[in-house]
Amino acid sequence: MLILASASPIRRQILENVGLEFEVVPANIDESAEKDLGKGLEMIAKSLAEAKAVAVSRERPGDWVIGSDSVVGVDGALFNKPASREEAAEHLRKFSGKKMLLTSGVALARDGEVDWSHFGRAELEVRDLSEEFIQSYLDAEWPDVGNTVGVFRIEGRGIQLFETIAGGHFTILGMPLLPC
């Protein structure tokens, strides 16, 4: 059996779209323990993906488990998923006119051991966002973007946030399946 250790709707959709049969068992880990900026965004994303895959694989002996996670950094600060619409608006204000570094990690584990892991990195130039735009955007996208670390869904209106994007499509979606 293949298990996805994530409740993310977009990660579920990625695996469905490639034709895989799987079960969803979200990992219950303490992400704050892995979020040490001294490690760098790449290692944080990879460590979180591995921790999720390992945690669920210990509960499901013999099954292959995919763990994945994404982290966002802007101006040297690490951002979490917004806990409220106001926090989402504050994140967007901080992102406005800046380069967003998005790193996603993915790992495959079985019986509590990581068999494979990988990370991908994307750079997204956020355009200048007016307060009017931010509120209009959140009127249309909240609460769905509350489940995303960058406060956007690239497959939806989130594309409007950016001037340029460099990086793998699956990395931006949160599961870097293809090395870039």
The predicted-structure confidence for 58-102, as pLDDT tens digits, reads as follows 999 999 999 999 999 999 999 999 999 999 999 999 999 999 999
What digits encode the pLDDT tens for the residues 137-161?
999 999 999 999 999 999 999 999 9
Q: What is the DSSP letter of 180?
A: -
End-to-end CA gap in the chain: 28
Which candidate in 69, 115, 128, 144 is catalytic?
69
What is the Cα–Cα distance from 41 to 171, expressed in whole angstroms?
A: 13
CA distance 86 to 76: 22
69 catalytically annotated: yes
φ, ψ for residue 121 (rounded to 5)?
-130, 140
Q: Where are the domains of the chain?
A: 2-173
**Residue 172 · residue 165 · CB < 8 Å:** yes
- Whether the per-residue pLDDT at 42 is higher than 90: the answer is yes
**Position 90: which residue type?**
E
pTM of the shown model: 0.92
| CATH among 3.10.20.30, 3.90.950.10, 3.40.190.10, 3.20.20.80 for 2-173 | 3.90.950.10
In the prediction, which pLDDT does 31 show?
A: 83
Within 10 angstroms of residue 42's Cβ, the number of other Cβ atoms is 16
